[in-house]
Amino acid sequence: MWKRNQPTAGSRGVSDVTPLDGVDVVLADLDGVIYRGSDAIPYAVESINAVADGRRVGYITNNASRTPASVAEHLSSLGLRVEPDDVVTSPQAAVRLLAGLVPAGATVLVVGGDGLTSEVEKAGFSVTLSAEDKPAAVIQGFAPDVGWTQLAEASFALQEDIPWVATNTDWTIPQARGVAPGNGTLVSAVHAAVGRLPVVAGKPEAAIFEEAVRRFGASKALFLGDRLDTDILGANRAGIDSVLVLTGIDRAKQALAADKNSRPTYILDDLRQLHEPYPATKVSNDDATGDRIVSVGSSAVRVAGNAVTVERAGEHPVNLLRAAASAIWNSGMAIYALEVAPELYA
């Protein structure tokens, strides 16, 4: 059964409204949105610089291995206008959580890189790398050189009933050579040893978004991400409108299959489309068959029973994806119960 009361991709817009309308702060993920590896993603830098001409821009990253200063330096080298305070990291959000769990100045076992260690030290905690120092808590984040020794120390420490905070639980991390294991795999190794789960600060939890909104004083924020399971889910949990940009991990197939908690407000091919009108989604009936026709711009899909097919390809492929997403998300059926034409996600 068709559900008209659910949000649809583009349902909030009309032909002359862009995703930026009414937004005072734009928050951007980094990997897969701004850069891939060390290189800028096409059109990202100029598009974000144009956003920054009239709005505050902040950058949110789950990467716990780098300091805000090093992130800002990298972004600046790509051509963005960035200061360290524009960067909100999962270590910063994790340390804020940690401060509510242990006394000020407590000894904390750190598993991770310089980005995490520096934030723990700035907050006034004493850093240790050994469980023999009887830490009051464990805080864990990603670094490329984290190995068995560090994970074992965390496991030894967590045999005591002390808090465990993870910067994030991303299963993967995009690199220039491809996709690599992320912090979630390292957290999972400790979980397997100690039999419990950490408190998580980074995406998809709300803490890192709340830290950004507080810091930048946002009244209406828009978040840009490339992953449904961390970026979009986290923005939804924090009550922030979101953009899925198809330059990173998740593409058309994943967007169509997004569960109700991980659906973006907008879908963009690249960040140039932030500045372009976002066409509204329109729904009509085929009088002859009773089928639903869902259109975005000149593109349209047909919903006949459990089949979703191309009605009109249209001029812009992304509009066909937007129409298909709206049709599937509002069909009342799970993606596995639908027959979706391959042209819609190829």
| Identified catalytic residue from 21, 24, 29, 86 | 29
Q: Same domain for 196 and 209?
A: no
* 67 belongs to a structural domain: no
Annotation marks residue 31 as catalytic: yes
pTM over cut 0.95: no
* 157 belongs to a structural domain: yes
Contact between residue 247 and residue 226 where contact means Cβ atoms under 8 Å apart: yes
pLDDT digits (tens, 9 = 90+) for 54-101: 999 999 998 888 889 999 999 999 999 999 999 999 999 999 999 999
Q: Which residue range(s) make up the domain with 189?
A: 91-200
Q: Same domain for 116 and 195?
A: yes
* 241 belongs to a structural domain: yes
* 55 belongs to a structural domain: yes
DSSP characters over 90-115: HHHHHHHHHHTTS-TT-EEEEES-HH
Q: Same domain for 165 and 258?
A: no
Q: What separation in angstroms does the CA of 78 have from each of 146, 163, 323, 340?
A: 28, 39, 34, 39
Torsion of the alpha carbons at 130, 135, 139 and 140, rounded to the nearest 10: 20
Q: Same domain for 253 and 308?
A: no
Q: Flag whether pLDDT at 13 surpasses 60.
A: no
pLDDT digits (tens, 9 = 90+) for 201-254: 999 999 999 999 999 999 999 999 999 999 999 999 999 999 999 999 999 999
Instruction: Single out the residue of 167, 160, 158, 163 nearest to residue 192, CA to CA.
Output: 158
Of the candidates 235, 258, 275, which is a domain's last residue?
275
* Burial of 159: CB neighbours in 10 Å, binned 0-12, 13-18, 19+: exposed
**Scanning the structure block, which residue is given the tokens 């932030």?**
274
| Identified catalytic residue from 24, 31, 269, 287 | 31
So what's the pLDDT on residue 11?
45
Annotation marks residue 229 as catalytic: no
Of the candidates 275, 310, 335, which is a domain's last residue?
275
Q: Same domain for 184 and 95?
A: yes
> With bands split at pLDDT 50, 70 and 90, how would you rate the model's confidence at 173?
confident
* 77 belongs to a structural domain: no
* 8 belongs to a structural domain: no
pLDDT digits (tens, 9 = 90+) for 104-140: 999 999 999 998 999 999 999 999 999 999 999 999 9
State how far the Cα of 215 lies from the Cα of 142, in Å rounded to an integer.
24
* 39 belongs to a structural domain: yes
So what's the pLDDT on residue 6?
38
* 173 belongs to a structural domain: yes
Of the candidates 150, 183, 200, which is a domain's last residue?
200
**Scanning the structure block, which residue is given the tokens 């803490």?**
207
Q: Work out how many domains the chain is built from and give that number.
A: 3
Q: What is the CATH number of the domain that holds 240?
A: 3.40.50.1000
So what's the pLDDT on residue 209?
97
Q: Same domain for 304 and 235?
A: no
